[in-house]
Amino acid sequence: MGSNGNQKDHAVELSAYLSLKKIADAQYDYEDARYVIFGVPFDYTSSYRRGSSRGPAEVRRAYDNLESYDVTYDIDFTEIPICDLGDIGVNEDPDETVDLVSEVVAIIRKDGKIPIMIGGEHSITGGSIRNFKEHGMIIIDAHSDFRFSYMGHKNNHACATRRSLEVLGEGKIFSFGTRSTSREEFEDPDFKKVTFVRAEEIKSEGIENIFLKYSPRMEKQIYFSIDMDGIDPAYAPGVGTPEPYGLKDTDVRYLIRRTAKITNGFDIVEFTPDFDNGNTSMLAAKLIQDFIGSRETTRKI
């Protein structure tokens, strides 16, 4: 509430959805924040290795070991207005979970803030993207995720790109790092409405050349979604559906840096902490810092 007794924003409403865990650099209240972090500990539709429900807690734990000052960006992250609302309380219903994510992101967007969502599995992106209908989208993913439904659910992690296409429309989604696609997906007449950039193409041409090739076709505002299995298992082994021959961690950082200032929503999903020694969660934490740092810095990076 403001000093005059009038509620300034939706902080009270959001508090009913979320727990009280915080990421280390999140030093601001929701009312004063520009970036709003929240977790979605949901992995019910995971088809290989479950455990991404522990992702938000492990990213916060890993983040404790990052320095708050980054010399590259010349930024002290504790001075950036970042808020962490904690985790959404979810059940095992994917449709309800995706709807809940959509509601939470709608409130954050209505208050003029940048949502940063920590998963959980990739299905949750389908809820967030509903609030970015005028945006384009960048996805980092080993898989095309273009099934209409999977294992009886339309809101399955294997359908995340398909659900996003239904919201955004043809030509607005660029998925980088693809190296696993079923015949069913490839032969779908709508498959070509998404630009899938194969990891092999990125390795051959280099991430800078790839970005220069595709960026003229991108929208002027972006939603950025990182499925950690898009990164090679050498850098990010702790994921639900690992796939060899992936992107380098610095490839993903490059794309974040080049698009951060036009990115108005960000998520990072699909890391399963039980399957590595903490490297994947640490990388996820650093990529969150890279996004905020790239968006806030006045330096040329």
Residue of higher predicted confidence among 141 and 14 = 141
Directed axis angle between helix 279-296 and helix 55-63, to 10°?
70
The answer to whether residue 48 scores a pLDDT higher than 90 is: no
The answer to whether residue 274 scores a pLDDT higher than 80 is: yes
Average pLDDT, the chain: 91
What token pair was written down for 147? Answer: 């099934």
Residue of higher predicted confidence among 6 and 211 = 211
Instruction: Tell me the per-residue pLDDT of 120-140, one tens digit each, with 9 for 90 and over.
Output: 888 999 999 999 999 999 999
Structural contact between residues 41 and 54, judged by C-beta atoms closer than 8 angstroms? yes
Indicate the residue type of 82: I
Domain ranges of the chain: 11-296
Q: Look up residue 123 and give its DSSP letter.
A: G
The answer to whether residue 253 scores a pLDDT higher than 70 is: yes
As a whole number of angstroms, the distance between CA 287 and CA 233 comes to: 16
Dihedral angle, C-alpha 223, 250, 56, 130, nearest 10 °: 10
The answer to whether residue 6 scores a pLDDT higher than 60 is: no
Instruction: Tell me the per-residue pLDDT of 172-206, one tens digit each, with 9 for 90 and over.
Output: 999 999 999 999 999 999 999 999 999 999 999 99
Res. 275 pLDDT band, cuts 50 70 90: confident
Q: List the single range of 14-23, 68-77, 145-154, 176-185 with lowest mean pLDDT.
A: 14-23
As a whole number of angstroms, the distance between CA 246 and CA 235 comes to: 9
Instruction: Tell me the per-residue pLDDT of 34-45, one tens digit each, with 9 for 90 and over.
Output: 999 999 998 776
Residue 4: predicted pLDDT: 42
As a whole number of angstroms, the distance between CA 231 and CA 1 comes to: 43
Percent of the chain at pLDDT above 90? Answer: 75
Q: List the single range of 150-159, 185-194, 252-261, 262-271 with lowest mean pLDDT.
A: 150-159
CA 73 → CA 230, 286, 289, 291, 299, distances in Å?
Answer: 25, 13, 10, 11, 6
The answer to whether residue 22 scores a pLDDT higher than 50 is: yes
Cα 9–14–15 angle (5° rounding)? 115
- In words, the CATH class of domain 11-296 is alpha beta
pTM, entire model: 0.91
Res. 7 pLDDT band, cuts 50 70 90: low
The separation between CA 128 and the C-alpha centre of its own chain, rounded to angstroms, equals 10
Average pLDDT of 81-102?
Answer: 92
Structural contact between residues 129 and 137, judged by C-beta atoms closer than 8 angstroms? yes
Q: Which residue has the tokens 């790109």?
A: 161
Structural contact between residues 129 and 164, judged by C-beta atoms closer than 8 angstroms? yes
Res. 3 pLDDT band, cuts 50 70 90: very low
The answer to whether residue 150 scores a pLDDT higher than 60 is: no
Q: Which residue has the tokens 């610095």?
A: 250
What do you get for the CA distance between the two ends of the chain, in Å?
A: 40
Q: Which residue has the tokens 């924003």?
A: 9
What token pair was written down for 294? Answer: 């790239």
As a whole number of angstroms, the distance between CA 252 and CA 231 comes to: 8
